[in-house]
Amino acid sequence: MNGYQGDGRARVVQRYLNLLEASLNGMLVRDAPVDPWSGGTFESNTRFLGRDWPSLAFSMIGSVRMRNLRYVCETVLLDGIAGDFIETGVWRGGACIMMKGILEAYGDDERCVFVADSFAGLPPPDSGNFPADENSDHHTYTQLQVSRADVEDNFRRFDLLDERVIFIEGWFKDTLPYAPIDRLAVLRLDGDMYESTMEAMESLYHKVSYGGYVIVDDYFLPACAQAVHDFRDRHGITSPILPIDGMGTYWRVDHKPLR
């Protein structure tokens, strides 16, 4: 990793990432939302907080959670924490595009970005194995179904698609246990449901380096939060959970890998 090369380069890096953020979350084009509750009208504070589903933008996490992602990714780069980046549940790919943009801006030509999704929306609830998901209707929202081809094209539009962007396609229970990942520096969970959150943590948490980060986008959803606490309690994880924006949370791994 080349890192910064003087104050001038640092300014260019930050301006590029600022522009990338605004492009990804729709603050530049101010596109109308398509979620069932926003009334179809763009509202800057709602978008800033990631409380709508944009019609055109590449991410629905808003500015606050996107900036948290930037902070986390930049911190592990500057601190030299080993490992790749992954998001589990990517929608149109915006957060993963930001991850790749950060690596490019910092001149990191070694780490990979793993893009894990079914690319067919969320699974129907398996209430027999995951009772917390019993009333989940996430699988009914066609707005959440984005194909792999569309996500690849979104990377391509930002000139950020290369061999270090690795797609993991399929339901998490079928793919993540076998994902070709050795070590992670950033694990971003965005699976909404108990099952999706737990499957990702069971398969990937032990690969997060000491000093790496775990981000939980949907912590405000009771089923997701329950999965997080069930997993942490089972493994005795006490790293402080930090709030991001009233919806997402994150923590820094302050213990040795679980396995």
- Amino acid 135: pLDDT: 86
pLDDT tens for each residue of 173-209? 999 999 999 999 999 999 999 999 999 999 999 999 9
Q: Say if 88 falls within a structural domain.
A: yes
**β pairing state of 208-216 and 249-252:** antiparallel
Range of the domain at 71: 61-252
- Per-residue pLDDT of 77-103, as tens digits, reads 999 999 999 999 999 999 999 999 999
Residue pLDDT, tens place only, 101-120:
999 999 999 999 999 999 99
| Residue 53 CB partners (closer than 8 Å, separation 6+) | 33, 34, 35, 38, 60, 143
Q: Is residue 104 part of a domain?
A: yes
Mean pLDDT of the chain: 94
pLDDT digits (tens, 9 = 90+) for 23-80: 999 999 999 998 888 788 899 989 988 889 899 999 999 999 999 999 999 999 999 9
The identity of residue 16, as a single letter, is Y
Query: Quick check: is 5 in a domain?
Result: no
Does 21 fall in a domain? no
Q: By C-alpha distance, which of 106, 119, 105, 94 is closest to 27?
A: 94
Is 47 within the bounds of a domain? Answer: no
User: Domain total for the chain?
Assistant: 1
Evaluate whether residue 132 is within a structural domain: yes
Residue 6 lies in a domain: no
Let me know if residue 189 belongs to a domain. Answer: yes
Q: What is the pTM of this model?
A: 0.93
Asked if residues 16 and 101 have their Cβ atoms less than 8 Å apart, the reply is: yes
CATH of the domain at 240: 3.40.50.150
